[in-house]
Amino acid sequence: MRGRCQLCDARFSLLLLDLEEYYFEQHTAYHVTTSSKKERRVRGSLKVCSRSVIFDPEDLAEPILKIPLRDCKKIECVSRENNPFNEPRPSAISISCGQVIYIKESNVIAPYRNERGSKRVAFQLEGWSKTEDVVQTLLQLYRASCLDKLGDQTAMIAANLQSRLARSSFDKNCVTEKPHMECAVEMVMPLVSNPGHICITDESLYFQPLNGYPEQVIPIKLHSVRRIYKRRHGLRPLGLEVFCTENDFCSDIYLKFYKTADRDEIYYYIATFLENHVTEHTAESYMLQWQRGHLSNYEYLLHLNNLADRSCNDLSQYPVFPWVVDDYTSARLDLSNAATFRDLSRPVGALSKERLDQLLQTELLWLQARYRGMPEPRFMYGSHYSSPGYVLFYLVRVAPEHMLCLQTGRYDHADRMFNNIGDTWKNCLEGATDFKELIPEFYGTDCGFLENKLRLGLGRKQNGSLVGDVVLPPWASDTKDFLQKHRTALESQFVSEHLHEWIDLVFGFKQRGSEALAAHNVFHPLTYEGGVDYDSIEDPDQRIAMLTQILEFGQTPTQLFTTPHPQRITPRFQNITRSPSSNSTVSDLSPASQSEDSSFEDLTEESRKLAWANMGNLTLVSSHKIHKEAVTGIAVSPDGAAIFSTSQDTTLKMFSKELKDFQRSMSFSNMALSSCLMLADGKTAVCSSWDNNVCVCYFYSVPFGRRQDTLMGHDDAVSQMRWFDDRLYTASWDSTVKVWQCAAESLNHKRSQFQLLAELEHDAGVNTIGLNPAGTLLVSGCKDGAVTIWDTGSDGILQQVHCHTGTIHHVAFSPDSRHVLSVGADSCMKVTDVQTGMVISTVKAVEEQRCFCWDGNSVLCGGQSGDLLLWDLLSNTVTQRIPAHSGAVTAMWMSELCSTVITGGEDRQIILWKLQS
């Protein structure tokens, strides 16, 4: 949490104010006391705040004085007697009050000391003319504090603040650039906010506090900004948070606007600037990076928290992280044993069966007694998993002033403080009202929150011991070792395989509705976004009470996912054990036995990775215009010597790479051919046609140069074909995919024998299909924008996702079969997770993409312009643009090791490409 308290010369902090209080102005002054006719003057700064007067002495040995205005009885300007030399004395501010609060006595951060009883405090301003004005300001604020209703008090103070902001403006002498816009805002920090003005130019964002604290101007260069988020603050869409770092969870500035329109204008101005400098990431793009191992679990959780409105500047929405370890008693942390880990599929409140049964019974009795005959909502838990109190429970040793601010100058009882990690976890499992999760610091590198380095007097426990450093589990030798092992646990195989289950609970589809009920994951309605319409509450007292309750109780993150979150792609392991009492199943942690060919497979995989890493070096070898119309399909013989291509000119042509010329040409009908493929025997080419709206698959015998067989089985044109083992898959605009079986030996005969095995029905014409490398899955893309994933064993639908708004041109599985990539007429590239059916990445291209090859991370695609584009899906950016065809790229083929690429286009050409090392 940025801005944590440290002992320093500048002792004043906004945390000395009450919650929801503003610091308006400061004046150099003297605190004047008189005893035995001897006057004592202490120089310092007099702070005029909306609910109090604070005097911050320059002498660090002197305590800070705070006088709540509600405790004042009289505030007046008192003329002082002339001194013996008949020189006039300046007037003083005299305050009669019933309480004075002493803070940081002897410059030590400690609970405040309150002195009650009738007191008279006098301050003398340095200078002559401001005393009366300050007294009038204090009297006005005093009247607000004395109003009976809290809503009336808040309204009067807010009016005072808006009047001050309206009378002032951003000092343009502070900038040399041309201002674009300025407006009044508040800079938000944990528990406090500071009013002022912002100004944005074409180079920088500036914040100028109304009171000049902590600096006269805070500048942020736009070129240094890496991320920017809209925020909901106090349930309203008024927040804006700016980050100049990529993976830090602390922002550089958090602003609260008074008008949503002002917030949005500033956001879009900065976002427009960033478009040419920084890639905008969404939850789905981060998900793809995480799934494929390019983001750690820690980094991914940070990004999800940011996208879900969690901010270290808002303690009611502080970033939330899961407990992942269940063992805080062993001498050794065994990460190879699943029993070491917490069940991530359950919320904290449902981890203990005994406590869960008690909660369910209590809920039932409560509903029967209080809600008989009344409508829902229901909830299970009387507290939340994240709240300001819980955050500061963990951080009290590094943020003591925040705790004192939250608890009106006091620490919690010593036995209730964060004393022992194991005891805290045990209480989260067994306590009747304790369901809290963790914060990012538990997986970071700063050990400070576990150590009492400031030597704070946090109290004495019932056993007589003082509260000091946090007691660590036996398996940690020190705080650094604890954090390192805790982070290792977060990044472990087990957590990587199950983290998506916790994400479902906190950020995903089990956060709300029937899934939340089934998962015992239901909290008070006011904790959810949209749980209350704050602006519709007319009574100001009710509005403030509602807002206070929400802010203190904690808030559930913004829901990011409405379908199950995909699992991370991790290596397959064996030999992990789970205790018999657990119902969870996990994969193994020791590498699986390798096949004899594994070394060759590893070498092949490395070659592919190296090829894709150098795909930008793709070089044109030759181009050949061998068709009269657009090329529709490309196939290559197993030995690579012959290239087959189909075209809308109705011909199938065979091109010899060695002779650099086409050798054979055959026309099957007067209709366009739509695709072609080469069978493993190396002797048979197959092509499909639009022939008279009837599917015709022509089998062309390469050695003899003749049509071998014609298969007619669709009611409309065949759009694409795929072959695996002895099965042919044909896709048609008649809304079906048909599965045919052909015995391998029959291909050598004059007529092949095909048997229809299955007919896969769709709601619209099927434009493209693809098979995964194992042949166990088929994906189809339709004219209505739907992607459907089929199990080829059962011929059943696994997933169906309407992810495009127009015709899908091409679909294909990733090499690991985890994802499907689709491109369509809507110019979008979509990555769909096979396991869950969730669209986990969306790339909006400038132009329509027609065909592609990909490795799961990068995509080589052919666009409408004729160029080949190399996309990095993990960053959603084009890394290379290679001029290719003079018209749209309509067909593409890539060799197994990715060293050769062949493309066909509307310009009637086929182009051969070679990857240069």
**Under 8 Å between Cβ of 283 and 560:** yes
pTM of the model: 0.86
> Which domains are delineated in the chain?
14-164 (2.30.29.30), 170-280 (2.30.29.30), 315-574 (1.10.1540.10), 605-915 (2.130.10.10)
Which of 330-337's residues contact partners 24+ apart within 8 Å by CB, and which partners?
330/473, 330/474, 330/475, 331/474, 331/475, 332/475, 333/473, 333/475, 333/476, 333/485, 333/489, 335/488, 335/489, 335/492, 335/493, 335/494, 335/589, 336/575, 336/576, 336/589, 336/590, 337/576, 337/577
DSSP 470-535: PBPPTT-SSHHHHHHHHHHHHTSHHHHHHHHHHHHHHTSTTSSHHHHHHTT----GGGSTTSS-GG
Which pair of tokens denotes residue 169? 């403006």
pLDDT at 163: 94
Cis peptide before 179 (omega within 30 of 0): no
pLDDT at 129: 63
**Under 8 Å between Cβ of 830 and 804:** yes
- 3 state DSSP class of 752: coil
**Under 8 Å between Cβ of 425 and 435:** no
Mean pLDDT per 10-residue interval, the chain, length 917 residues: 43 92 94 83 95 95 96 89 55 94 94 95 84 93 91 90 94 88 96 95 95 93 92 89 86 95 95 76 89 94 94 94 97 96 96 88 60 58 92 97 94 96 96 94 96 95 95 97 97 97 97 93 87 74 77 89 91 39 34 43 76 92 93 91 91 80 76 88 83 56 70 88 92 94 61 82 97 96 97 95 96 95 96 93 92 95 95 89 96 93 96 89
pLDDT at 550: 75
Relative orientation angle of helices 493-506 and 297-307, to the nearest 10 degrees: 10
Which pair of tokens denotes residue 104? 């940081």
Comparing CA positions, the residue from 226, 230, 262 lying closest to residue 247 is: 226
